[in-house]
Structure 1
Amino acid sequence: MQKKVKVKPNSKQQKIEEQADGSLTVHLKSPPVDGKANEELIKLLADKFDVPKSYVTIKSGLSSRQKLIEISTDI
């Protein structure tokens, strides 16, 4: 499954908001430095979709706020 994700780093609290079009807005506490925000994003999405972290991949937008995430559901 693929999801479009808009990331908002340096937020006061972590949360995931589902938008009307099916995309997600994710608020992260981590700053966008040295991949910390990407690591936190992967962990949060793995918890939300109840899959191991290795099943969550950032397909595009590694250094962008707009990302395309692939979540493997083959368990």
Structure 2
Amino acid sequence: MRPPDLSHLARPGAEIAVRVTPRAARNAVTPAEDGVLRIAVTAVPEGGKANAEVVKLLAKALGVAKTRLTLLRGASGRDKLFRLD
């Protein structure tokens, strides 16, 4: 399953709020009405594995390189804030 096209959000300096669900049945990116992206990952939240999957899925949906995303807040929580450099 391909992630949705979120290239309209890929502006330099944009801050993207994300709500993560680890240990999901499948990886998915879902835009929500409240402006927060819902990202489900199959990875477990141990050793940064879930965060790495979130960055990978978000970068693919935005159409940018993974290295352009910086995690500003929420390294150990479900609510995260990324900045696109």
User: Structure 2-normalised TM-score?
Assistant: 0.81
Which one-letter code corresponds to 1:46 in the other structure?
Answer: A
Q: Which runs of 5+ in 1 are unaligned?
A: none
Task: Please tell me the root mean square deviation across aligned C-alpha atoms, in Å.
Answer: 0.7
CA apart distance, 1:34 = 0.3
| Structure 1 residue 53 corresponds to structure 2 residue 70 | no
Corresponding residue of 2:15: 2
More strand per residue: 1 or 2? 1
Matched pairs, number = 72
- Sequence identity, in percent? 33
TM-score (norm 1): 0.91
> Gaps spanning 5+ residues in structure 2: where?
1-13
Would you identify which runs of 4 or more consecutive aligned residues in structure 1 move more than 4 Å? none
Aligned counterparts of 1:39 and 1:12: Cα–Cα separation in 2: 17
